[in-house]
Amino acid sequence: MLSATVFLKLGGSLLTDKTGVAAVRPDVLARLAAEIGAAWRAQPDLRLLLGHGSGSFGHVAADRYGTRQGVQTTAQWQGFAEVASAAAALNRLVVQALHAAGLPAFSLPPSASAHCQDGQIAFMAVEPVRRALDARLLPVVYGDVAFDSGRGGTIVSTEEVMGYLASHLPPRWFLLAGDVPGVLDLQGEVVPWITPANFAGIQTALGGSRGTDVTGGMASKVQAMLDLVQHVPGLSVRIFSGLTPGLLQATLLGQGNAGSVISPHPSLPASPA
C-alpha cells in the first residue's frame, strides 16, 4: 500500500450506549481494537490517526452544563472540568483496548493545545501528531473541551479536531465507523455517494442522533465532511458500520466498499490500501 495517511473515527454511538451514562460497550471496543491491530500488522506502511467520540461519557456532562455554548460562571467552569474528565475516562478505556491489541496507541488530548474563537478551532498543536505518525505510533484524539477567546470555554467535536488536523496533515481517506450502515435516505437505504451536487436532495432525510449529542448528529457530520473534502485535495470520506464484524479491518485493508462515500465528484475513489 502507499504510505498515505488515513484518519479513522470510531463514533461515540458505536463505542457506548448513548442512551445511558458512561455506558461503554466493552465487547465492541475490544473487537474494533483487534481489527485495527490486524490491519496495522498487515500494512507496515500504514500511517493511521485514530479519533473517537465521547458518547455517553462527555456528551451527558456537556449537555448538563451547556458547555458547548460557553463557559463563564463558577458552576460552568466546574462543568468544563467534569466534561474534560468524562471524555478522558473513555479515552483511557479506548487506549487500554488498543494496547491490549498490541497497538502503540498514544493519547493526545485536544484540550492541552486547542484554542477556539467563538466555537471554531483557531489553533491546535499539529507537530506532536506529525511526530507520532513519523515514529509509527498510533496517535489518538477525541472530542474534548477547549478554551475559547469569545465564549470562555467550549466543546470541540472529534470531527472538528480531525478536520483541523486534516488541513495540516492531509489524509487520503477519512473513515467514520458508526452504528449505522451509512447515510440513509428516506426509504432507509444507504446513499452510496454524496457530493455537493446531490446533497440538497438527501438533506431532508438526515436526522439527529440517538441519545445525547451536543455536537449534532448525522446532518452536521455530513455537512462538515462535504466542506472538508472540498478543502483538502484528494480526500474522500467513507461512513460505514463498525457493528459489522470484520468490516473495519477490511476497510482499512482496502477490501471493504460498504457504506457511503463523500467526495467532491460522483466517482469511486481509490480504496485506503
Which string of DSSP letters, residue by residue, matches 30-46? HHHHHHHHHHHHH-TT-
Tally the domains of the chain.
1
Q: What number is the average pLDDT over the span 145-172? A: 96
Amino acid at 265: H
> What is the C-alpha separation between 129 and 136, in angstroms, rounded?
11
Residue 273 resides in a domain:
no
Find the CATH number of the domain harbouring 144: 3.40.1160.10
Q: What is the pLDDT of residue 212?
A: 45
pTM, rounded to two decimals: 0.91
Closest CA to 202 of 181, 217, 186, 220: 186
pLDDT in tens, 209-256: 444 445 456 778 888 899 999 999 999 999 999 999 999 999 999 887
Instruction: Tell me which of 159 and 56 has the higher pLDDT.
Output: 159
Q: Decide if pLDDT at 143 tops 60.
A: yes
Whole-angstrom CA distances from 236 to 56, 192, 215, 269 are 28, 13, 22, 7
Residue 143 resides in a domain:
yes
Residue 101 resides in a domain:
yes
Enumerate the β-bridge partners of residue 116: 121, 148
pLDDT in tens, 195-212: 988 888 888 777 654 444
222 CB-side CA count, 13 A? 29
Amino acid at 165: L
Residue 4's pLDDT band (cuts 50, 70, 90) = confident
Residue 61's pLDDT band (cuts 50, 70, 90) = confident
Residue 267 resides in a domain:
no
Residue 222 resides in a domain:
yes
- Burial group, residue 6, by CB count within 10 angstroms (0-12, 13-18, 19+): buried
Residue 45 resides in a domain:
yes
> What is the C-alpha separation between 43 and 121, in angstroms, rounded?
32
Residue 42 CA, distance from chain mean position: 23
Q: What range does the domain containing 254 cover?
A: 5-262
Q: What is the pLDDT of residue 18?
A: 75
> What is the C-alpha separation between 268 and 262, in angstroms, rounded?
10
Q: What is the pLDDT of residue 218?
A: 78
Q: What is the pLDDT of residue 271?
A: 55
> What is the C-alpha separation between 240 and 195, in angstroms, rounded?
16
Q: What is the pLDDT of residue 251?
A: 95
Residue 272 resides in a domain:
no
Q: What is the pLDDT of residue 221?
A: 83
Checking 76-82 for CB contacts under 8 A at 24+ apart, the result is 76/152, 76/153, 77/152, 77/153, 80/145, 80/153
> What is the C-alpha separation between 85 and 223, in angstroms, rounded?
29
Instruction: Tell me which of 18 and 167 has the higher pLDDT.
Output: 167
Residue 270 resides in a domain:
no
Q: What is the pLDDT of residue 204?
A: 79
Find out whether 91 and 24 touch, Cβ atoms under 8 Å: no
Sequence-distant (6+) residues with CB within 8 A of 62 are 54, 68, 79, 83, 155, 214
